[in-house]
Structure formats: structure tokens, C-alpha cells
A = this chain, B = another copy of it.
Amino acid sequence: MATTIKDIANRLGVSISTVSKGLNGASDISEDLRQFVLDTAIEMGYQTKKMKKAENKKLALFIENMNYDTPESFGYDLVLGFRQVALRDDWDVTIFPVTPEFQTQNKYDSYLLKNGYSGAFLVGFALQDSWMGQLTHCKVPTVLLDNFIERNTYVGSVETDSAEGIDLAVEHLIRLGHTKIAFFNGSPHSMITARRYDAFITSMEAHHIPINPDLVTFGHYVKDSAKYHVPKLLSSGATAIVCCSDSIAEGVIEECAKRGIRIPQDISVIGFDDLPFAATLTPPLTTVRQDRLDLGKGAYHVLNNLINHVSISRTVMRAKLIERNSTAPVNTTT
């Protein structure tokens, strides 16, 4: 059932007339409240008249390898943030889940032009995707999450600052006395995996901690990856493990629990992302936060600039360390 003004009023705890004023841009409510009403309306799927008639101002959001349908998923806030700020400029945003087959069947820029899209945001694409190869020469304004196309002034990118994020994690562990710090990276053949690897090496060197190659491993950005890599990291003497996703960290915690290894008393574990489940793990996960709402908003600003012929190459968002209970001073008694 379609969202009504009354639904929004109930959710916000304000009157129907306040919501109506917010949606219609009346001048007797504050700009902050108006924006809050609009943001909530988009989140709840409400369609304003402006949105309905904005068919000539369309942006596409292509999403692959990523869930976005529940607030728990990585893509949810990303899509929401993008749509929230795009609407302020009267853009209608269409979300397309994309498969490799769809890419093979449709040429990227002609698909956009044929269907009247002025630009697109691409999320979750892998380096080997066929659309990635086409982006070197594409002329439709396009923004990529966590990928980068050299020299094409029509394509920009947005990402969280991996270097700063990994450095925050490493420094936090060093302050707690750890030196046998393992690095559990995500999938190879990914730009972001390479960035985080470089970041780890740079950060360890900056802190004068020698790197033990047995403590550096590449898996995949999923929980299941942990069981293949944790045994080696443990037998190589890790007292702390920096994981490149919260899902990996969840798997690491489970693998440790199976072996009677206590987190954080015996081993400290740090995640990356700060997805909602990170705070509810046992123990609650210390992690590097990527603000997905901000990433979505940042992506829109890059795209809007490209559409206006301001050629941004990339925009990098801040990472933040969220300290919870999965990290503690190194256990010197073992």
C-alpha cells in the first residue's frame, strides 16, 4: 500500500498539516523541519507530485553484489543518502539490481541514453565486470563506489578513506600494546582491497612494527571466509586481527569461540564498515565506520558536479573508529 501523508505524520509525531507544509515547501515551517519531512517521506517511499512529474530528470543507480532492501544491509543507507540529496535537486532516481548477464546484453551508455537517464551511480561492481571496461570511454556522467577510472573526465568516484581507517585501527591496537597484528583482507582483484593492503603496510611501517607475512591474508568479504584463514593467523601468533569487513570479523569471532579463545581477553578483533549488526555481536565489535548515508550523499554531489561539467575525479569520505568491546590490552600472560 502506498505511503500516505498520515503515515509520515504518525511516524514523525507531527500534524498532517506540518507534513503537508514540508512536502509543499511552505514558508512557515523551518528549513530543517522541511528537510526532515522530505527525508522521511523518501525513506518511507512517499511520492511527492514533484517526484511524479520529474520524469525528464532521471538518474540511475545500478547495484551489483550487494543487498540494499533492509536497514541491516550495506546498500540501504547508501541508496537512501543518494536519493535524499538527489531529490532536493528534483531528480528521480531509479534503482537497478544488475547481473553480469545484464551487462553483457546492454551497452552501458546507450542503455542510459535510450532510457533518458542523465547520469548514474554504480555500486558494488567488480573490476572484471564488462561495464567497467566500457567506462574508460563513456561520455555519460557516472560515479563509481570504490572503483576508479583513469583520465575519463565523465567518470568520478567516491570511497571511504581506507588509509585513514586502517591507520586508526592499527594505532588503536598499538596503544593497547599489540605488535603481533594480523591483517585479514577481503577479495583480491578489488581496488579497495589493494588500497587497504597498502594502508596496512604503510601504517605498520609508520609505527615501526615489523610485518610478519604469515599474519597478512586475503579472503573474501564474507563471514564464511574466516574458517579458511583463522587457523593460520592463530598458529602464527596473532594477538589482534584487523578484518576488512564486519562480516569477516563476525566469522573470526565465531572461529575463535569454537576453539575456546576469548575475545577480547586472548585476541582483539576489529571490523570494517560498522553495519548495524556490529554493535549486537558478542562481544560488541570495535570497527572502522564507513558512513553509508554520507557515501550516498557524496556520490550524488560528485555526479551533480559532473552533470554540470565540473570534472571531479574522486571524493573521499572520512573513516571513524568506533570503539566497543572486541579489543583490549594485549594479554601478556600467554
Chain B residues with CB under 8 A of A318: 151, 153, 311-313
Q: Do B153 and A320 touch across chains, with their CB atoms under 8 A apart?
A: yes
Determine the main DSSP class of A at the interface with B: mixed
Chain B residues with CB under 8 A of A301: 301, 305
Q: Do B316 and A312 touch across chains, with their CB atoms under 8 A apart?
A: yes
Chain B residues with CB under 8 A of A294: 310-312
Chain B residues with CB under 8 A of A153: 318, 320
Q: Which residue of B lies closest to A154 (CB)?
A: B318
Tell me if A196 counts as interface (CB < 8 A to partner B). Answer: no
Chain A, residues 231-263, CB within 8 Å of chain B (1/0): the string is 000000000000000000000000000000000
Within 8 A of B (CB), among A264-314: 291, 294, 297-298, 301-302, 305, 310-314
Partner pick for A314 among B291, B297, B316, CB 8 A cutoff: B316
Tell me if A164 counts as interface (CB < 8 A to partner B). Answer: yes
Chain B residues with CB under 8 A of A164: 150-151, 313
Q: Do B313 and A297 touch across chains, with their CB atoms under 8 A apart?
A: no
Q: Do A298 and B312 touch across chains, with their CB atoms under 8 A apart?
A: yes
Chain B residues with CB under 8 A of A311: 291, 294, 317-318
Chain B residues with CB under 8 A of A291: 311
Most B CB atoms within 10 A — which of A298, A315, A320? A315
Q: Which residue of B lies closest to A295 (CB)?
A: B310
- Complex CA distance for A314 and B305, rounded to whole angstroms: 15
Interface residues of A (CB under 8 A from B): 150-151, 153, 161, 164, 168, 291, 294, 297-298, 301-302, 305, 310-318, 320
Identify 25 residue pairs between A and B in the complex whose beta-carbon atoms are under 8 Å apart, listed by A's number: A151-B164, A151-B168, A151-B318, A153-B318, A153-B320, A161-B313, A291-B311, A294-B311, A294-B312, A297-B310, A298-B310, A298-B312, A301-B301, A301-B305, A302-B315, A311-B317, A311-B318, A312-B315, A312-B316, A312-B317, A312-B318, A314-B315, A314-B316, A315-B315, A316-B316
